[in-house]
Structure 1
Amino acid sequence: MGNKVRPVIQMTVAWSQYPEFTHGTEGGLPLLPRGWAPKTLLATVRQLKKLGLRPGGHDPVAVLYGYSSKGGQWFAPLYLIARAKPMLPMTPNRWRSIAKANTARRCCPVCGRDRGYIIPPSLGMCVPCTEAGENTNASNENGADPWAA
């Protein structure tokens, strides 16, 4: 599976007063392969988060792209670090709401106990309730083997 060859072109960009080399455009934004973006000027949302910043409502100025090990192509919007705003602080009300949501995820709907771990959505109940439900069989109360003829 061959990678698509993108032509290298020179164009005006938002992060430099001089034209820069890009690989064309994607959605109207300059397209940069992995390793071409200036690390001191542009960052993805995850990189901004590590710096304690957020995009702050600004639109991306470029698109970063690359290929996964399986050959799939990925894209990530790039933002100007200079325009980024600081992350919003965690207020006491936000901490309370997160704690309340996590408590609800830890409580078993069958027995009503806080199990201290997140109840698996695939089970819908805590592990002890699931195991108790598997061990009790209403059709086999006398202990006889259900497979015996």
Structure 2
Amino acid sequence: MTRRRSSARFFDPTGARFGIPTWPWRMAPPHLRTLRQLAAEGLRPGGQEIAGQVLWNSRRYRKGVRAAYLYDVRLALPKRVPTDRQRAALGKALAARRMCPTCRRDAGYVLPRHLGECLDCADAIGTEVSAA
């Protein structure tokens, strides 16, 4: 019974109560998708406005209600494909985030920003301080 009450609470397909068309969890029309659903289909919103939202109760969220915005799949565009030069630049940028400035080697993971160096170098400094 609680579930039906909360479903009716979020059912507003005209947008009179919430400002945009709103549906409860799993009750949105089939042509509307979230950003993640569009991405999974290889699509992007393509500059279109939000077509609606899905609201649901959540115990984890601060106000107890969570939202997911919906976009019309019929107006969505295919995802852009990066060029070879863009891919190369991204590879260099990611490699720079793995390079330790202290020992000058590729750590194999992205360096923690709060340390500014690889874990081995950070541990070595901590060991030197405690030994002194």
Q: TM-score, normalised by structure 1?
A: 0.73
Q: In the alignment, what sits opposite 2:122?
A: 130
- Structure with bigger gyration radius: 1
**Which residue of 68, 84, 88 maps to 1:76?**
68
Question: Where does the alignment leave 5 or more consecutive residues of structure 1 unmatched?
Answer: 12-21, 141-149
Point out the more displaced range, 67-76 or 82-91: 67-76
Distance apart, 1:107 and its partner CA: 0.6
How far apart in 2 are the matches of 1:124 and 1:10? 50
Question: Is the helix fraction higher in 1 or 2?
Answer: 2
1:33 to 4, 11, 24: 24
Equivalent residue letter for 1:96: A
1:104 Cα shift?
A: 1.1
How big is each residue's C-alpha offset from its partner over 1:76-127, in whole Å with a ceiling of 9 and x where there is no partner? 1111100000000121122112111111110112222212211122322101
Shift of 1:138: 9.0
Q: Considering only aligned residues, what root-mean-square deviation do their CA atoms show, in Å? A: 2.6
Which structure carries more strand by proportion? 1
Match of 1:97 in 2: 89
Count of paired positions: 126
Alpha-carbon distance change, 135 to 119 in structure 1, aligned in 2, over 3 angstroms: same
Q: Give distance in 1, aligned partners of 2:110 and 2:13.
A: 52
Using CA pairs under 8 Å that are at least 6 residues apart, name the structure with larger relative contact order, 1 or 2.
Answer: 2
Runs of 4+ in 1 over 4 A off after TM superposition: 2-5, 7-10
